[in-house]
């Protein structure tokens, strides 16, 4: 194997001699590369599993996939059944007589409400869009200095963010309500939008993903004259696109399914989930309508997830979450 030698370029060489020396170095490098890799093309690629092992793994994955998709398939099938089939025991997965009566009844009930369904939809859209956009922006702005700047108390703040992930929403419900009440935001859509800005999982995900960005890249941008805002919006944010797409999925699903809880009392401010839950609260007779409501509410979050699922998996791989 030919080893590359360190050559010192004499100062008195002409341009032709220097060019010839460069060409000689390139030839030596090419010969060294060929010597190193000449046996690799004859090496036989060995599979880690046999054909039977691949089939076995495929069967296992298909079985778990069907097990995971069963609740969704069951809900969709229930929305296409009549009441006589819904209460059959033992229950059947697929309907024998497909009917869209449940969806027709749902839209008839929606049309008879005092407040137009479009108002509920606009409320949900407002809460979801502003809450998601605000959280993505603020969590990114918070994660950037925590990841790429050194200042006193940075490690303490990072530890507090990690510790906050241990508390569920039920534990923080009373303190959250007290803070919102002190701010005078009760019975306002801001009572749901502003708490969404403080979703600490988003800060954790963004910080973990920003840790993978080389510091040399940011230093090179500073040498070229870029300020902090240009570095953040033109370099960092495009590189962490999988992370903020994941945040959009997580927070969008959470805010899309909110019913206002104890924060919204005025009927004109209620979101779509509350209106649909009230429609199907008519007892056993509206079981099929309830299934239709569930299918309608799942369409948008599932669509958003399918579009961005590859980015979400990439983010989980970088952050270490499962």
CA proximity to 80, closest of 100, 57, 61: 100
Q: What pLDDT sits at residue 255?
A: 85
Q: pLDDT tens across 220-260, in order?
A: 888 888 888 888 888 888 888 888 888 888 888 888 878 77
**Average pLDDT of the chain, as a whole number:** 77
What local confidence, expressed as pLDDT, does residue 119 receive? 83
Task: Determine the distance from the C-alpha atom of residue 135 to the mean position of all C-alpha atoms in its chain, rounded to a whole number.
Answer: 13
DSSP character for 80?
A: T
pLDDT at residue number 111: 67
- Give the model's pLDDT for residue 309: 65
Phi-psi label, residue 30: left if phi above 0, alpha if psi -120 to 50, beta otherwise:
alpha
**Confidence (pLDDT) at 42:** 47
Over the stretch 1-55, which tens digit does the pLDDT of each residue have? 444 444 444 556 667 777 777 777 767 766 665 665 554 444 554 555 677 777 8
Q: What is the pLDDT of residue 303?
A: 77
Distance CA(236)–CA(226), nearest Å, equals 12
CA distances from 191 to 127, 141, 143, 261 (A): 10, 22, 24, 10
Judged against a pLDDT cut of 60, whether residue 318 lies above it is answered with: no
172 confidence band (pLDDT: 50, 70, 90): confident
Q: Compute the distance between CA of residue 292 and CA of residue 80 in angstroms, rounded to an integer.
A: 8
Q: Does the reported pTM lie above 0.75?
A: no
Tell me the C-alpha distance between 272 and 18, whole Å. 75
First to last CA, the chain: 46
**DSSP codes joined into one string, 242-301:** HHHHHHHHHHHHHHHT---TTT--SGGG--HHHHHHHHT-S-GGGHHHHHHHHHHHHHHH
Per-residue pLDDT band for 179 (boundaries 50, 70, 90) equals: confident
pLDDT tens for 272-297 read 888 777 777 766 667 777 778 778 77
* pLDDT over 70, % of the chain: 81
- In this prediction, residue 282 carries a pLDDT of 65
Q: Tens digit of pLDDT for each residue in 117-161?
A: 778 888 888 888 898 888 989 988 888 888 888 888 888 888 888
User: With 70 as the cut, is the pLDDT of residue 306 above it?
Assistant: yes
């Amino acid at each position: 194997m030919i080893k590359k030698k360190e050559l010192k370029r004499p100062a008195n060489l002409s341009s032709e001699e220097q060019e010839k020396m460069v060409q000689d170095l390139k030839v030596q490098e090419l010969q060294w590369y060929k010597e190193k890799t000449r046996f690799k093309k004859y090496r036989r690629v060995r599979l880690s599993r046999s054909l039977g092992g691949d089939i076995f793994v495929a069967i296992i994955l298909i079985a778990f996939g069907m097990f995971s998709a069963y609740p969704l398939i069951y809900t969709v099938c229930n929305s296409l059944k009549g009441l006589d089939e819904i209460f059959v025991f033992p229950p059947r997965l697929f309907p024998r007589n497909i009917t869209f009566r449940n969806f027709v009844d749902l839209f008839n009930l929606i049309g008879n409400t005092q407040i137009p369904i479009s108002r509920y939809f606009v409320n949900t859209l407002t809460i979801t869009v502003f809450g998601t956009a605000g959280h993505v922006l603020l969590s990114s702005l918070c994660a950037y200095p925590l990841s790429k700047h050194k200042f006193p108390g940075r490690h303490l703040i990072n530890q507090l963010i990690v510790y906050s992930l241990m508390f569920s929403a039920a534990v923080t419900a009373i303190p959250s309500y007290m803070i919102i009440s002190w701010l005078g935001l009760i019975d306002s859509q801001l009572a749901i939008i502003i708490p969404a800005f403080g979703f600490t999982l988003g800060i954790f995900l963004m910080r973990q993903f920003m840790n993978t960005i080389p510091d040399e890249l940011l230093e090179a941008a500073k040498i070229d004259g870029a300020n902090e805002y240009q570095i953040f919006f033109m370099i960092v944010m495009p590189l962490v696109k999988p992370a903020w797409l994941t945040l959009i999925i997580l927070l969008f699903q959470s805010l899309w399914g909110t019913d206002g809880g104890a924060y919204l009392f005025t009927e004109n401010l209620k979101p779509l989930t509350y209106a649909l839950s009230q429609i199907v609260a008519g007892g056993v007779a509206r079981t099929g309508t309830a299934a239709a409501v569930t299918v309608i509410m799942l369409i948008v979050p599932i669509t958003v997830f399918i579009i961005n699922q590859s980015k979400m998996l990439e983010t989980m791989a970088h952050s270490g979450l499962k």
